[in-house]
Amino acid sequence: MQLRFLLRASLLFIALLALWWFVLRLPLLDWVQFSSEFILQHLPGVHSPTSVNIEAGRVWNLRVPVPGGRSIHLRAEERLPTLYTVALPLFWAVLFAGPWSRRLLRAFAIGTGILLMTPAISLLIYAAHAVKLNLYRSAAPALGYTLNFADYLGSSVMPYLFPPLLALALYPDLRSIILTGTPFAPKFAAKATARPSGPRPNRLS
């Protein structure tokens, strides 16, 4: 059963990857731009101008705040935010390769919502890490290690490892198939019906 699941997931991922690249990629990148800019503009205590723009040649220009009430411009190739969005077709492929039940749509909605929020967070962590490396290399070593690890998670773990784990966490039917090879069987509490003790009364004819 696990082998059939892997085959279905692989075929679905190929199909969904094509759909993502040709249809969904640009709308998702627009969403990453909007959500990243929204987070930047609503950071507490930030009064310097911030923005996320896509310039000619699809180069991303991030204007991020730095200490002293200033902001600086960072440029990133579009492959970086594109990489963050590949988690969605992978999550969908793993999820829909499993058994279908009423819980599937709930897991799909929650997981998709989570994965729509992570690209903006990963992009801003990358920006913070770049600012630390370029402007404050020797300051706060512990912060540098933290940002380096968080940036590694955002670019190397979140797009590839997090989606299957998220699918397993949200969908018990899939988790049961993967871990035990058997369909998920929910336990329902049976209601005991009490029967009166003693002899049955005779029916009147």
pLDDT tens digits, one per residue of 101-124? 889 999 999 999 999 999 999 999
Beta-ladder partners of 61: 53, 75
Beta bridge partners of 59: 55, 77
Q: What is d(CA 105, CA 112) in angstroms, rounded to the nearest whole number?
A: 10
Q: Which two tokens stand for residue 51?
A: 């923005």
Radius of gyration of the chain from its Cα atoms, rounded to whole angstroms: 25
Q: Which residues have CB under 8 Å from 1's CB, separation 6+? A: 177, 181, 182
* Model pTM score: 0.84
pLDDT tens-digit map of 11-59: 999 999 999 999 999 999 999 999 999 999 999 988 889 999 999 889 9
* Domain spans in the chain, listed from the N-terminal domain onward: 2-41+81-180
Angle at 181 between CA 177 and CA 186, to 5 degrees: 55
The tokens describing 88, both together, are 């969605």
Question: What is the band of 205 on the pLDDT scale with cuts at 50, 70, 90?
Answer: very low
Residue in 15, 184, 4 with CA at minimum distance from that of residue 101: 184
Helix or strand (DSSP H, E) at 66: strand 59-66
Whats the size of the chain, residue-wise?
205
